[in-house]
Structure formats: structure tokens, C-alpha cells
């Protein structure tokens, strides 16, 4: 099926035996010095994880005698009310999804599991209008065409990501698996008031399970194609009558699905270990305190396993006999790609019900240390390799006060403080252990203060108006050098202020059906992208902030059998920040610029229908029309006869925006049929269609349309506590990219995971 995706990509590769894989034993530079990057034995790691899984499975099985019906009912209360509507917190309070005048896709943890989604990168499979690509290690969600390609140190994504109320600033840490997931809310459109941290495209709000005073737990073991092994576990229970705790983990490994013919080894592998713990203290019915800690160690070089697209690389002219495979899953890079990130952090949440409302404080700290090595000529030649690390530390503090919705006038007010320190150390060489050809050490600091509030007024029993505003004061500074042990060559700072309002009107047609209209704005601060060639900064100025002005109308309905939503939107998108990849003196470097203005409009539709007690359907559709209105100084590329690209400044006005598919759709079903009192059959499926999009503003390189289908079938024993099943992901073996870029070096690409099948066993109590 790979020929559907890109030009001359034909049949999928015939992979060699896993016994041919070799350990690279590669040493790499960390934040302070060299650290050992050599792998453990694959079989040793799998055996150790399997032993851990068996041990936890034994504990889980022994505890399975606990009653499950109470826990199931409690979980249902968290996500839905008696009308069948999902309860969300998009307006910083618990409300019915129908009552929120925002286009939202709300996904429960069970829906995530049923769709065969294993990590955050795949949420777009069941969210129309959402696409999640990567630039190197940076995960960059795009909603309704608004996203970013900027991977500069200290730069933020356009779509803000929150986990349990904590803003995740590091793009390198936004690919993860959460074993204790409760639900995900994808908020579409600028969230400039209540979720104001650079949320010009939207926000992805993730909620994990709170510790329970009823003993509960789960364990899942899975094994599949490419030696993929995954173990997930969760356990929670009381410590005292006022204290409860939970512990969750995920451990996953696979050998990789891309064959490196130069090194005779597998690439595109994933190796992740994550552990989270939470402690809940409820001294009174009015006060709740949750302390959360998290540690993860993730290595995934999917977006670094790169090859020239259609053989377009500049060294082809001087090396006409160079082997450039057309097979999409064979690469020929001579340096083993490395991409890992170690993350740790914690948060303290305090909720106090004052009698007239709820005061909430969220304090959080995180530290992320990514590290990468990648071959920048994407061939077997020793032309260029880059090695870099981008450690960052973030502290946030937020206070909110939400009235209790007891009268016709209610409100939410709050303040937010953000402090981030980030560093980029980059080494460029002809060979990994060769002399330096370029060096960069850059440190950025970002400080942001914001005050926000929204007022909710019920004009009648059916008519509500909402008005809100956020004031943001942001300061960024950079201190960078391109010379080893030399003086600073770039020291500067900037400040930006912004008011971002929201106004909505909501009318209740019936108790289960509402219509709404919303005006909102979003703001994203400026950014730096320091690039040095021979100690001289390529770019010394920051780019201007970008801003979105949005108009949206919608309709929402919910009853116990049917839930659907319709929305239409229009965006005025100005001063868009874009990143280009160029080459100066044979050294690849990046530059960022403002890409003038764009107009984006379209609509969404989502539906969930319970056909019967054993069968339900879910579907979604999004149409997005996004074009650059005025982009006269775009950096464009065109292929040269002997390979590589000519890079020039041209007019991209009227072209389609990058990473913006006109149509995305998804449809899925859930089937659970009892065989007898002790056995039932469960089948789940989701199909996601993307109509294709351009990867460059010149609209030269395109990802063609593709369809991804995930399916699973399970035997469910007893009351649902035990499952045994099979699963398949990317059932049609479709070809699609997870990374693509164009430069003077040529066109390069990294492909997504091909068809995978496997088995899974799970237990819960």
C-alpha cells in the first residue's frame, strides 16, 4: 500500500531477521559530559519486564475478588451525567459538554483503549481536525491548520498541552503513554482566556485518575509485530480514611520497523519507562489536596530515521553510484540515530470549597533533558552529523477561583505565573568523533505573568452570555555563543503584552440541545532561533508574536442514546511564525520568520450513537480551508538536476497552509455481545481518513491521502475483569509520514509505523 503515499515508494520492505540487529555501543554527549548510550540486551530487557508483569499480574489476580460493580459505577459518574452527556472542565469547572460554547472532542480512557491508541501521538485518530506530526523530537499538534514547525530552544507549540492542570512547556516531552488516563478534552480554536499559554490553535487537556478510597487496579500485557512488548499497570487504594494513593507505570520496547542497510541494524524503535504516583488527602469535605510525581525515560528515534525522498539529495551529483533505496522502510544513514529524553517533575493541587465557590492552586515543577544524534545528509556518506541536547526547567503557579453556579451570575478569575530556563548545546561534525565544524551554546529564559477572568450571566432560563479577558505580560531573553569557550555573540531580550478576549452567547433550545456563537482571540509570544556559522549569528532578531481572531457558531445535543455536535468557524490568522531549514557553507541550520497572514475556515461534526445495549457507533468529520493571504517573502525550494534543492525567496500567497488537510474523518464501533453468564465477545474498530496536505509553503511536497484502521477483538471473562484478545494497527499497511523537510541538501522524510498485529491480556479489579 506504500505506493499511495509518496511518489516512487513501491512495495514495503522485506525485513531481515531480528537476529541481525547489532548494538551500536554509541557514546553520546549529555548535559555535562559523555554518557553511555549503549543498549542493554533486548532479550534481557524483555525478560525483566515480563517478570515484572507476571509479578504484578499475580498481585492483581489475587485481589480480583474485590467487588467491581461499585468501581465501574464511580468511574461512570466522573465522565457522564444522567442525560448521557460527558462532564468536562473546559471552562475550569465541571459542566456538561452540551453547556460549553466551545468545539470540544471529549474522549474517555476506555475509548482510547478501544481505539488501539498506545500514546499521545495517535489521539488524532479519533479527533477530527487534529494532526500530530514531529520535527525531530518535538511533538507539534496542529488543530484546524494552526500548529508550528518551530523547534527552537524556548519556543512553545501553538496547541497547549495540560496534564492534570499543569502546562507542558517542553515539546520534546509531549509524546508519552499514560497508564492512568481518565479522559482527554481536545479544545479547538484559540483558548486565550482560561487556557492562555500560547494556545492560538487550541488545547489538549489530559486528566488522569485520582487516587481512590476503594481498592482498584489493572494490568495489561501486550506483544506484537517488531517485537513490541508493552506492560501497563495501575493500583490505587486507601492509606487511612482521609488519605489515598495510586501508582501507575508503563514499560514498552520494540526493535524498530526501519532497516538501516548501511549499519545492518533496525531503527525507528521505541523504548519507554514511565512511572507516576499520586497521593490524595481529604481532611474535610471542603478541602482536597493531591500531590503528584512523575519520572519517564523515553528513547524513540522514529523522526530521526530519515531518508531522501525520491532520492533527492545534493550528494547524488558527486556520487552517481550512491545507493539510494526506493523502499520506504529502508534507510542508509551511516550514523545510528539517537533520540531520548529524560523527564521528571511533580505538582501540588489544592482545592478548597469556600461555600460560595472553589479556590484552586496548582504548583508544578518539571525538568526535561533531551539528547539527539542524527545524520544530516541522510546517506551512507560521512558528510555531516549533528549532536545536541536541549535541557529545560519549568516552574508554574496558577490560582483560580470559580463561583458555584448557584445563581444567574457566576464567574471564574485567576492568575498564572510561568518561568522557563532552556539551553541548547549543538555540535556539528563531518563524523561523530571528528573535529567540530560548528558549535552553538544558547540559553533562553522566559517569564510570563497573566491575569484572567470570565463572567457568566443567565439573562433568562434559556439564554446565557459569557465575557472574558486575559492580560499577558511575557519577557524572553537569550544569551548565546557560536565559538568554543569564547565570548557571547548574541545577547538580547524582548517583551510582549497582549489582551485576549472571549465573548459567547448560548441558547438552550431544549434541555438536551443548545446553540452557541463565540468570538475569541489567541496570542503566541515571539521567539528566538539562534543559528551560528563560524561564530557568526545567522539570525539575531526575534520573530513577532502571532495572533488569531476566531468566530465560531455551533449546535450540541445529548441524550442517553445520541450525542452530536456541529460547528462552523472562521479564523483571521496574522504574523504566522514559521521555521525554514537552510544550508550555509555545507552546514545545515534553521531560521524562523513571520509568514504574514492567513485565512482559515471550515466546520466540524461529531456523533456518538448507542444503537443497542451491545452496539454503539462514533463518527467525526472536519473540513478545513486554510490559505496564506499574503506571504510574499516565503523561502521556497525547487529540485536541482543533480540532486538537492535551489532555495529562493518567492511568493506563497494563495497557497495552502502546511500540515492542513482539507478533510479528516473518523468512524468507529464498539460491539460487546454476551455468549453466556461467564463469557462475552468484544470487538472494537476505528478508521481514520486524512485527505492529504502539503509539507512546504510552496506546495511542492505533498502527503497524499491515507487511511489508518485499528481493530481489536477480545474474549471477556466473568464481570469484565479479565480479557484476552488480538489487535491490529494500521490494518491496511498505509504509508504516511511523521516528519518531512526540505532544504538545499534535498528532501527528506521519516515514515510512520506499518501494519502491526499482536495479542493482549488484561485484568482489573
Residue 544 in domain = yes
Please say whether the beta carbons of 272 and 177 come within 8 A.
yes
Record the pTM: 0.84
Distances (CA, A) of 570 to 129, 131, 285, 548, 565: 14, 19, 44, 10, 17
Kindly state the helix (H) or strand (E) to which residue 403 belongs, with its residue range: strand 392-403
- pLDDT on residue 66: 35
Question: How far is the CA of 658 from the CAs of 56, 157, 487, 583, in angstroms?
Answer: 46, 15, 38, 21
Residue 711: inside a domain, yes or no? yes
For residues 385 and 373, what is the distance between their CA atoms, to the nearest angstrom?
Answer: 7
Structural domain contains residue 399 = no
pLDDT of residue 589: 64
Q: What number of residues does the chain have?
A: 765
Asked if residue 410 belongs to a domain, the reply is no
CATH number of the domain encompassing residue 453:
2.40.170.20
Report the C-alpha dihedral over residues 224, 229, 232, 233, rounded to 10 degrees: 120
Residues whose CB is less than 8 angstroms from the CB of residue 318 and which lie 6 or more positions away in sequence, other chains included: none
Q: Which residues of the chain have pLDDT under 70?
A: 1-84, 136, 196, 483-488, 530-541, 581-590
Domains in the chain: how many in total? 1
CB neighbour burial string for 675-711, b if at least 16 within 10 angstroms, e if fewer: eeeeebebbbbbbbbbeebbbbbbbbbbbebbbbbbb
Condensed to tens digits (0 to 9), the pLDDT of residues 28-64 reads 333 333 333 333 333 333 333 333 343 333 333 333 3
In a domain, 379, yes or no: yes
Owning domain of residue 716: 2-391+416-764
Grid coordinates given for 690: 486524512
Based on its alpha-carbon atoms, the radius of gyration of the chain, rounded to whole angstroms, reads 25
pLDDT at 709: 95
pLDDT at position 36: 36
Residue at 507 is within a domain: yes
CA pair distance 576, 594, nearest whole angstrom: 5
Contacts 24+ apart (CB under 8 A), 250-254: 250/177, 250/178, 250/179, 250/274, 251/49, 251/52, 252/118, 252/177, 252/228, 253/42, 253/45, 253/46, 253/49, 253/227, 253/228, 253/229, 254/226, 254/227, 254/228, 254/229
Instruction: Tell me, yes or no, whether 396 lies in a domain.
Output: no
Residue 407 lies in a domain: no
How crowded is residue 287: how many other Cβ atoms within 10 Å of its Cβ? 12
pLDDT of residue 556: 95
The separation between CA 688 and the C-alpha centre of its own chain, rounded to angstroms, equals 17
pLDDT tens digit sequence for 425-441: 888 888 878 888 778 88
Amino acid at each position: 500500500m506504500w505506493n499511495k503515499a509518496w511518489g516512487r515508494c513501491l512495495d514495503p520492505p522485506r525485513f531481515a531477521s531480528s537476529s541481525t540487529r547489532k548494538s551500536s555501543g554509541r557514546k553520546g554527549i549529555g548535559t555535562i559530559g559523555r554518557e553511555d548510550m549503549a543498549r542493554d540486551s533486548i532479550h534481557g530487557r524483555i525478560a525483566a519486564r515480563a517478570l515484572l508483569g507476571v509479578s504484578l499480574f499475580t498481585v492483581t489476580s489475587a485481589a480480583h475478588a474485590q467487588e467491581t460493580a461499585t468501581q465501574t459505577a464511580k468511574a461512570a459518574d466522573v465522565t457522564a451525567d444522567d442525560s448521557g452527556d460527558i462532564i468536562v472542565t473546559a471552562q475550569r469547572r465541571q459542566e456538561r459538554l452540551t453547556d460549553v460554547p466551545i468545539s470540544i472532542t471529549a474522549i474517555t480512557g476506555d475509548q482510547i483503549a478501544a481505539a488501539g491508541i498506545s500514546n499521545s501521538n495517535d489521539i488524532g485518530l479519533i479527533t477530527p481536525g487534529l494532526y500530530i506530526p514531529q520535527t525531530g523530537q518535538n511533538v507539534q499538534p496542529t488543530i484546524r491548520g494552526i500548529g508550528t514547525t518551530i523547534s527552537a530552544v524556548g519556543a512553545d507549540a501553538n496547541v497547549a498541552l495540560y496534564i492534570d492542570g499543569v502546562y507542558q512547556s517542553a515539546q520534546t516531552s509531549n509524546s508519552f503513554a499514560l497508564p492512568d488516563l481518565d479522559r482527554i478534552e481536545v479544545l479547538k480554536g484559540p483558548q486565550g482566556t482560561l487556557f492562555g499559554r500560547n494556545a492560538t490553535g487550541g488545547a489538549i487537556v489530559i486528566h488522569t485518575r485520582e487516587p481512590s478510597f476503594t481498592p482498584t487496579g489493572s494490568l495489561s500485557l501486550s506483544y506484537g509485530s517488531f517485537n513490541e512488548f508493552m506492560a501497563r499497570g495501575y493500583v490505587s487504594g486507601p492509606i487511612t480514611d482521609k488519605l489515598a494513593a495510586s501508582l501507575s507505570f508503563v514499560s514498552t520496547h520494540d526493535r524498530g520497523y526501519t532497516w538501516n542497510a548501511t549499519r545492518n541494524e533496525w531503527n525507528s524503535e521505541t523504548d519507554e519507562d514511565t512511572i507516576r504516583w499520586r497521593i490524595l488527602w481529604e481532611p474535610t469535605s471542603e478541602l482536597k489536596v493531591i500531590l503528584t510525581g512523575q519520572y519517564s525515560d523515553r528513547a524513540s528515534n522514529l523522526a530521526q530515521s530519515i531518508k531522501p525522498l525520491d532520492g533527492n539529495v545534493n550528494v547524488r551529483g558527486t556520487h552517481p553510484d550512491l545507493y539510494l533505496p526506493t523502499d520506504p522502510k529502508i534507510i542508509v544513514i551511516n550514523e545510528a540515530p539517537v533520540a531520548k529524553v529524560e523527564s521528571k517533575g511533580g505538582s501540588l493541587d489544592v482545592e478548597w470549597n469556600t461555600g460560595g465557590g472553589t479556590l484552586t492552586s496548582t504548583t508544578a515543577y518539571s525538568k526535561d533533558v533531551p539528547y539527539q544524534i542524527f545524520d544530516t545528509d541522510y546517506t551512507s556518506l560521512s558528510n555531516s552529523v549533528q549532536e545536541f541536547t536541549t535541557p529545560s526547567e519549568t516552574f508554574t503557579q496558577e490560582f483560580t477561583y470559580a463561583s458555584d453556579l448557584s445563581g444567574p451570575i457566576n464567574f471564574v478569575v485567576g492568575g498564572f505565573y510561568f518561568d522557563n530556563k532552556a539551553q541548547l548545546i549543538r555540535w556539528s561534525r563531518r563524523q561523530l568523533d571528528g573535529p567540530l565544524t560548528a558549535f552553538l551554546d544558547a540559553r533562553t529564559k522566559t517569564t510570563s505573568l497573566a491575569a484572567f477572568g470570565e463572567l457568566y450571566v443567565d439573562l433568562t432560563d434559556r439564554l446565557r452570555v459569557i465575557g472574558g479577558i486575559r492580560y499577558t505580560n511575557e519577557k524572553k531573553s537569550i544569551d548565546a555563543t557560536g565559538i568554543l569557550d569564547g565570548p557571547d555573540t548574541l545577547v538580547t531580550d524582548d517583551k510582549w503584552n497582549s489582551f485576549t478576549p472571549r465573548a459567547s452567547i448560548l441558547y438552550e433550545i431544549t434541555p438536551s440541545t443548545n446553540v452557541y456563537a463565540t468570538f475569541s482571540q489567541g496570542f503566541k509570544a515571539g521567539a528566538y532561533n539562534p543559528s551560528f556559522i563560524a561564530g557568526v549569528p545567522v539570525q539575531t532578531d526575534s520573530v513577532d508574536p502571532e495572533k488569531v481572531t476566531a468566530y465560531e457558531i455551533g449546535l450540541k445535543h445529548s441524550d442517553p442514546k445520541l450525542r452530536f455536535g456541529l460547528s462552523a468557524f472562521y479564523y483571521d490568522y496574522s504574523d504566522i511564525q514559521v521555521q525554514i531549514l537552510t544550508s550555509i557553507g555545507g552546514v545545515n541550520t534553521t531560521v524562523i520568520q513571520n509568514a504574514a497572514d492567513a485565512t482559515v475556515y471550515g466546520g466540524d461534526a461529531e456523533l456518538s450513537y448507542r444503537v443497542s445495549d451491545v452496539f454503539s457507533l462514533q463518527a467525526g468529520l472536519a473540513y478545513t480551508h486554510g490559505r496564506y493571504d499574503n506571504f510574499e517573502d516565503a523561502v521556497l525550494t525547487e529540485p536541482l538536476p543533480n540532486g538537492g534543492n535551489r532555495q529562493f525567496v518567492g511568493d506563497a500567497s494563495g497557497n495552502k497552509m502546511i500540515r492542513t488537510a482539507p478533510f479528516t474523518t473518523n468512524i468507529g464501533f464498539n460491539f460487546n455481545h454476551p455468549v453466556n453468564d461467564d463469557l462475552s465477545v468484544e470487538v472494537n474498530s476505528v478508521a481514520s481518513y486524512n485527505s492529504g496536505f502539503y509539507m512546504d509553503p510552496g506546495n511542492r511536497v505533498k502527503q497524499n491521502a491515507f487511511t489508518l484502521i485499528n481493530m481489536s477483538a477480545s474474549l471477556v471473562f466473568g464481570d469484565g475483569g479479565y480479557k484476552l484478545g488480538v489487535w491490529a494497527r494500521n490494518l491496511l499497511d498505509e504509508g504516511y509520514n511523521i516528519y518531512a523537510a526540505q532544504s538545499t541538501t534535498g528532501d527528506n522524510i521519516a515514515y510512520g509505523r506499518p501494519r502491526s498485529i499482536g495479542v493482549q491480556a488484561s485484568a482489573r479489579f
